[in-house]
Amino acid sequence: MAQTLFAKIWDAHRIAETAGGAHLIAIDRVFLHERTGAAALRRMAETGRTVLDPARVFAVMDHIVDTRPGRGDGTLMPGGEGFITETRAAARAAGITLFDVNDRDQGIIHVISPEQGIVLPGLTLVAPDSHTCTQGAFGALAWGIGSSEAEHAMVTGTLRMERPRTMRVTFTGQLAPGVTAKDMALALIATHGAGGGAGHAVEFAGEAVTALDMEGRLTLANMATEFSTMTGIIAPDAKTFAYLAGRPYAPEAFDDPYWATLRSDADASFDREIVIDAAAIAPMVSWGTSPEHTIPVTATVPHGPERAHTYIGLPAGAPLAGTPIDAAFIGSCTNSRISDLRRAAALLKGRRIAPTIRKALVVPGSLAVKRQAEAEGLDKVFEAAGFEWRMSGCSLCFYAGGEGFAEGSRVISSTNRNFEGRQGPGIRTHIASPETVAASALAGVIADPRLLAREEASA
């Protein structure tokens, strides 16, 4: 019988059916971070349980580590150092692989796991982090869980799971110049709602998806959780295997015929299908306080929940482009990879951000991305333009009580969430692609990056 990619991986990992009709699913990789992983490791130690297979459990410091140069265990977040030192001690005691604060390969989970070849096509991978779905871009079944389930996965090598329904989101045609994977994700959520994928595991497919490079695919899959799905998965292809070849934790060769089976069969059926014309997508920017409150940068603010208009300070009918901004952020597991930094730097090169911008940060997703960017001179481009150049980490994707933006600031951000207070009390966040962040930082107002690119082409 024809099968979806999701079904192939799920069924290959099904150990048993439980009495209640749920499935016991084998988990190949568990990844922890210091913010929520510490709680799982602590409970495990308290109950005297141990990790079933420590060689397949990994931990990293990414969420609350300081990103200022010269960092150590100290962080500006109140009590933050305790999370770091406790996670380090617990990870060592549990015998799992740890990417510590200043290890050469430290970075955000969903950046370093592909970089190191820890995620592989056909694996199941979980982490107590909602953006674990990012790694579905490699044809793995990867999803976010809570700390209790992380403990369950470490101790038993399994999770007890209800089988989700399947959905395919097909992006037909090709993206227009200046439009990116981030805009694809935002267009999907804007059209079908932040809860639109509930109960489903999504496969992203279509010409515009296969045309993306691996980093673009990671960006697209990253936002699956903002669509409320269990995960987002993309069938692996030659690009996927080429990316992984030679990575430290990847197999030496992908020559097992198994790898070629990892795709939905041509006549496989999905419980739900959504088709989106990729060619019609424009650069997208959020106007409100949910990722679904997103419109093309050229559009005017629609009627939304009153509270969202009040919080963000933009009435229905107001044009989004031209809205003055106070700060800019490039980083996060959505958009902090080398290709993201290259595209933003291409627009910033030889220019200065507007004098009204009070804080502009670029935070590479990993120390490897940072080294690569520095080898290409991108750090100098960002600094000359007026951005601060940082160590890697999650940084101001969220506010943990330490470093922040000035209260009430309006921030253009390459992150994934624009919730009330997400980046700090009263902070108004507009999520967008790195090029839209760069163009807006230069203009001092929310701006369409295509205009800048055109200016460049005609110069």
Partner 1 sequence: MKPVSTITSPGVPLLRDNIDTDTIIPSREMKTTGRTGLAEGLFAPWRYTDAAARVRDPAFVLNQRDAIGTRLLLAGANFGCGSSREHAVWALAEFGIEAIIAPSFAPIFKGNCIRNGLLPIELPEAVVRALVWQMVRIDLPTQTVSAGDDSWSFAIDPEAKAMLAEGLDAIDLTLKQKPAILAWLAADRKLRPWAYRETAT
**Subset of residues 203 to 262 that bind partner 1, contact rule: CB under 8 A:** 225-226, 228-230, 249, 251, 256, 258
Using CB under 8 A as the binding rule, whether residue 151 contacts partner 1 is answered as: yes
> Which residues between 2 and 61 bind partner 1 (CB under 8 A)?
15-16, 18-22, 24, 26, 28, 35-36, 38-39, 42-43, 47, 49, 52-57
Cα–Cα dist 119/231, whole Å? 14
Exactly one of 107, 114, 139, 144 binds partner 1 (CB under 8 A); that residue is 144
**Residues 173, 420, 444, 453: which binds partner 1 (CB under 8 A)?**
420
Q: Is 302 in the site for partner 1 (CB under 8 A)?
A: no
- Examine residue 186 and tell whether it contacts partner 1 (CB under 8 A): no
Q: Specify the residue, 43 or 68, whose C-beta has the smaller distance to partner 1.
A: 43
Is the CB of 24 or the CB of 274 nearer to partner 1?
24
Residue 434 CB, nearest distance to partner 1 (Å)?
Answer: 22
Rounded to a whole number of angstroms, the minimum distance from the CB of residue 123 to partner 1 is 6
Structure tokens at 13: 């990992």
Instruction: Give the E-state strand segments of 190-324 in sequence order.
Output: 200-205, 232-233, 272-277, 284-286, 294-296
By CB under 8 A, is residue 120 in contact with partner 1? yes
Q: Which residue has the tokens 């990417």?
A: 99
Shortest reach from residue 26's CB to partner 1, in Å: 6
The residues in 336-365 that bind partner 1, with binding defined as CB under 8 A, are none
The residues in 79-108 that bind partner 1, with binding defined as CB under 8 A, are 79, 82-83, 86-87, 95-97
Q: Provide the CB-side half-sphere exposure for 39 (13 A, CA).
A: 11
AA identity, residue 178: G
Q: Does residue 282 touch partner 1 according to CB under 8 A?
A: no
Q: Residues 303 to 332: which contact partner 1 by CB under 8 A? A: 305, 307
CB of 298 to partner 1, least distance (A): 25
DSSP helix/strand/coil, 193: coil
User: Applying CB under 8 A, which of residues 260, 275, 425, 455 lies at the interface with partner 1?
Assistant: 425
* Residue 399 lies near partner 1 (rule: CB under 8 A): yes
Of the ranges 107-115, 275-283, 320-328, 419-427, which one interacts with partner 1 (CB under 8 A)? 419-427
Give me the least distance between CB of 303 and partner 1, in Å please.
15
Closest residue by Cα to residue 62 from 85, 90, 83, 34: 34
Give CA separation, 237 vs 112, 134, 221, 382, 448, in Å.
Answer: 20, 17, 16, 34, 33
The CA distance from 303 to 300, in Å, is 10
Q: Is 387 in the site for partner 1 (CB under 8 A)?
A: no
Q: How far is the CB of 304 from partner 1 (least distance, A)?
A: 11
Which amino acid, one-letter code, is at 244? L
**Interface with partner 1: number of residues (CB under 8 A):** 83
CA neighbor of 124 nearest in space, from 160, 166, 158, 162:
158
User: How far apart are alpha carbons 247 and 114 in whole angstroms?
Assistant: 9
Which whole-number Å values give the CA distances from 86 to 39, 73, 83, 423, in the listed order?
10, 11, 5, 25
Q: CA–CA separation, 131 vs 116, rounded Å?
A: 18
Instruction: Give the β-pairing of 29-33 and 124-127.
Output: parallel
Nearer to partner 1 among residue 28 and residue 448 (C-beta)? 28
